[in-house]
Amino acid sequence: MGNLTGFFGSILAVYGLLLGGMFVFQRSMLYFPPGDQPVLTSVGGTGIEAVTVTTEDGLELVHWYRPPALPGGPVIVMFHGNAGHIGDRVPKYWPLLKAGFGVFFAEYRGYGGNPGSPNEAGLTADGRSVMTYLSAQG
C-alpha cells in the first residue's frame, strides 16, 4: 500500500509541476512573435502601404493596408494569428487584392517590430483601433 501511495503521490507532484509550469509560461506558449520584421518592398506593385494606428492605450502600431479599388468598396480585415507576421500572409490574399477588395493586414503589439507585448486585452485593443481607423476612412 505504501508503494502505491508513493507512486500516486509522485504522479500528482509531477502533474502539479506541469500545471504550474504551464501557468508561468502560458504567454510564451500562446504567442510566437518572430524575430524578423515584415518588409513592405516584398509586396511592391500591389498598392499595399504602411499605415500607423494609435491604440487606446497609446501604442503606435504599423499595419499594411490596400484600400479597395472602388471608393467605399468592401475592406477585409486580416488578423494573422499567433505566429508569423503580416508579411507571411499576403500571398493568401492575392485573389482578394486582384478582385479589388480592400485588405487591411493588422499587425499586433509585439509582432513585426511593433512595441508592446501580446496579451488578450492588448490584442482586443489593437482590433478596436483598426476598426476605428477604417471607420474614419469611410
pLDDT tens track for 59-115 = 999 999 999 999 999 999 999 888 888 888 888 889 999 999 999 999 999 999 999
Where exactly are the structural domains of the chain?
1-30, 40-137
Highest mean predicted confidence (pLDDT) among 87-91, 119-123, 127-131: 127-131
Q: Beta strands 60-66 and 49-54: pairing type? A: antiparallel
pLDDT tens track for 7-16 = 777 787 777 7
Residue recorded with cell 498598392: 47
Q: Which helix (H) or strand (E) holds 137?
A: helix 120-137
Residue recorded with cell 508569423: 84
User: So what CATH class is 40-137?
Assistant: alpha beta
When the pLDDT of each residue in the chain is averaged and rounded to a whole number, the result is: 86
Position 85: which residue type? H
| Number of neighbouring beta carbons within 10 Å of residue 45 | 6
